[in-house]
Amino acid sequence: MARIQKKGTSGNAKNYITRSQAVRKLQISLGDFRRLCIFKGIYPREPRSKKRVSKSSTPSTTFYYSKDIQYLLHEPLLAKFRDQKALAKKISKALGRNEVSDASRLERNLTPKLSLDHIIKERYPTFVDALRDLDDALSMLFLFSNLPSTSEVPAKIIGKCQRLTLEFEHYLIRTHSLRKSFLSIKGIYYQATIQGQDILWLVPYKFVQRTGADVDFRIMATFVDFYTTLLGFINFRLYTSIGLVYPPRFDAKSEEQGAELGAFQLEGQNANGQMEIEGTANAQSNEKAQAEADRLLALPEEQQPEQAAEDAAGTGGDDSGEMNDQTSGALDQFTSVDETADTLPQPSATADASAAGRLFEPFTFFLSRETPRHSLEFIVKAFGCKRVAWASVLGEPGSYCSEDDLRITHQIVDRPDLPLPSPPLTDGDDEEEEGVVNRKPNERVPGRIYVQPQWVWDSINAGKLQRPDLYGPGATLPPHLSPWVKQKRGDYDPTAPLAEQETAAEVEMEDEEEDVVVDGADEGSEGEEVDGVRGDEEAREMEEELEEEDGGMDVRLAHSDDEESDGQDITAAADEWGGFSGDEGAADADADESAARQAQAELEAEALGQAPAPASKTKRSKEAARSKAEREAQEDVERRKMMMPRRKRKMYEKMVYSNARKDEETGKLRAKRRKIEKGATAAKE
């Protein structure tokens, strides 16, 4: 007979260890154990059966792998914790003997300090591993760098976080590796690509952080300790990889005055190991900028405003003339061979650094005081702009020029509307000097483009400059779309032009409608209605009346919240969003109307003894062909469905149904857009 095994000597009972056992084994306090686990990346585990693992009667809740804990025994940090314990004993002994100064000396000299350097290499064997975990680190550090200092979060930690994150941002600016950004209601999302790794992080808005009640700050502080060490090493590696000296020179005085990014001065490392200070494009005493300014002043004054913008664009273009040629070849687009296959992910427009670095290169930005300066400065610089100025209330140092400067090409404002300047009272030569000085506050400076902040974000996400007139001060902005939401096949995409999304049937319908309009124009003059045939307008009106009646009755009968009443609530898009039902009705009416007209025309033609119009014939034949193809496809599907097992058939039917619903929705959206676009073109004419 085999020997009877003792309970708790093999299997899960041996593989797992409870938390209190682990603490006892390591001989440290629970708090220290927690910190150690966070530093070393030892996470709680879940055994299949908790009952088999713990020997105690009280249910244990947290388990660890025994091997992990065993390995922790070799950890140098553990020695530090034990040193501290020994020190506490020594101090207590000294205090007991009333040797207070001895106790103080012991404490001063013997308190151990933790060093996490070796852990970084251990936890992230390669640099890419470290980059993969950077999203959490960056979010945490950016969050802490925006906190107010409290007893739980001392100012020292905040300052450290700020320094590290700003250094990281400098790297992104230098390498143009920022790709996307998104203004969400919680904060600003950024995505950068470093060494092929996409890193996404979230930065809070300024001055809004309320520290939550149910947050354990000791745990957060431990993570921050670890992540600051990590980001320090990552920054070191990133800086040295592009030939810069780390840490960059830090000017504490200008930092105090509110130069955030400007407080750092990057230094390049020469081939022979010497350091050289990189020219800061931002400095006021920039020679190139000065030369340009002098040239501008020399220009005849009536040209000045327009010329300024062009010149600014020109100076950018001069330097990068050959670069333009070189990078004009766009990135490859991936096309699938099979038409029915899923859409392939395409490289985004800003996917390469050189394209990203040229987006804002020719411009000079001015940030008004109501705009988020730091994020705008960072983004604009990361996308190639070298000259950024801001209102002096946002921080004095680092600004490129003052608001009145004529070199500014874009001013970012977030105010209701700015009046145009009144015509100059004086004329002649005096104005050249005084025109700038006489400007009233809250008045536009001629010769620059005023845009709202969203323009910057939409431009970088689209990879090309957006139309500034849509983003002017006081304008109703187009919606800010998330760059990470991918359109599924057949979904309505507000960013793509309508022509790309329309189905064949819709195109034909539209053509028909247009033809009808043309026919109507032939028969009667525009605006008049042909006898016996109701015009589109009238039909639409009638339809709307009917709709209204229905809606009214609905409301009266059973206070139902239908689309209409919802639409009234949504004020933001009230002008666009009128509910679906109205449009649908109109479209139906149109269809009926065209059919009626068709019949009428045919009758007339017959009466005249003519053949019906050939155009309509081809149209009809086309339609017939399409319907025939459709029918065939339908039959094919039916046939295949019969071959399917029942469960699959059910699933397929469900799929078809939900797809049809979705198509219907998107069709409605497209119809609305078509209507709006038509309205816009009509208004233009």
Task: State yes or no: residue 580 binds other proteins (CB under 8 A).
Answer: no
Helix axes 304-319 and 287-298, enclosed angle (nearest 10): 140
Contact with other proteins (CB under 8 A) among 521, 546, 573, 656: 573
Task: State yes or no: residue 223 binds other proteins (CB under 8 A).
Answer: yes
Helix axes 504-523 and 646-684, enclosed angle (nearest 10): 40
CA distance 541 to 545: 6
Task: State yes or no: residue 117 binds other proteins (CB under 8 A).
Answer: yes
Asked whether 351 and 403 are in contact (CB, 8 A), the reply is no
Give whichever of 144 and 363 is closer to other proteins, judged by the CB atom: 144
Give whichever of 435 and 567 is closer to other proteins, judged by the CB atom: 567
Contact with other proteins (CB under 8 A) among 6, 97, 210, 489: 210
**Bond before 345 cis per omega within 30 degrees:** no
Task: State yes or no: residue 673 binds other proteins (CB under 8 A).
Answer: no
Contact with other proteins (CB under 8 A) among 132, 439, 649, 662: 132
Task: State yes or no: residue 625 binds other proteins (CB under 8 A).
Answer: no
Task: State yes or no: residue 243 binds other proteins (CB under 8 A).
Answer: no
Minimum Å gap between C-beta 25 and other proteins is 15
Output DSSP code: residue 369: T
Output DSSP code: residue 344: P
Asked whether 299 and 447 are in contact (CB, 8 A), the reply is no
Minimum Å gap between C-beta 418 and other proteins is 14
Residue tagged 């239908």 (tokens): 562
> What is the gyration radius of the CA atoms in the chain, in angstroms?
35
* Residues 6+ positions from 257 with CB-CB distance below 8 Å: 395, 396, 397
Asked whether 349 and 355 are in contact (CB, 8 A), the reply is yes
Asked whether 28 and 19 are in contact (CB, 8 A), the reply is no
Give whichever of 46 and 531 is closer to other proteins, judged by the CB atom: 46
Site map 333..372 versus other proteins, x via CB under 8 A: ------------x------------------------xxx
Give whichever of 41 and 314 is closer to other proteins, judged by the CB atom: 41
* Residues 6+ positions from 452 with CB-CB distance below 8 Å: 412, 413, 414, 471, 472, 473, 475, 477
Give whichever of 304 and 581 is closer to other proteins, judged by the CB atom: 581
Asked whether 380 and 365 are in contact (CB, 8 A), the reply is yes
Residues numbered 588 to 607 that lie near other proteins (CB under 8 A) are none
From the number of C-beta atoms within 10 Å of its C-beta (0-12, 13-18, 19+), residue 555 rates as middle
Residues numbered 150 to 169 that lie near other proteins (CB under 8 A) are 160
Asked whether 362 and 312 are in contact (CB, 8 A), the reply is yes
Task: State yes or no: residue 560 binds other proteins (CB under 8 A).
Answer: no
Minimum Å gap between C-beta 242 and other proteins is 13
Give whichever of 312 and 456 is closer to other proteins, judged by the CB atom: 456
Residues numbered 176 to 205 that lie near other proteins (CB under 8 A) are 182-187, 189, 191, 197-198, 200-202, 204-205
Give whichever of 346 and 618 is closer to other proteins, judged by the CB atom: 346
Residues numbered 449 to 468 that lie near other proteins (CB under 8 A) are 452-454
Minimum Å gap between C-beta 597 and other proteins is 34
CA distance 600 to 548: 30
Residues numbered 66 to 105 that lie near other proteins (CB under 8 A) are 67-68, 70-71, 74, 80-81, 84-85, 87-89, 91-92, 95, 100-101, 103-104
Task: State yes or no: residue 373 binds other proteins (CB under 8 A).
Answer: no
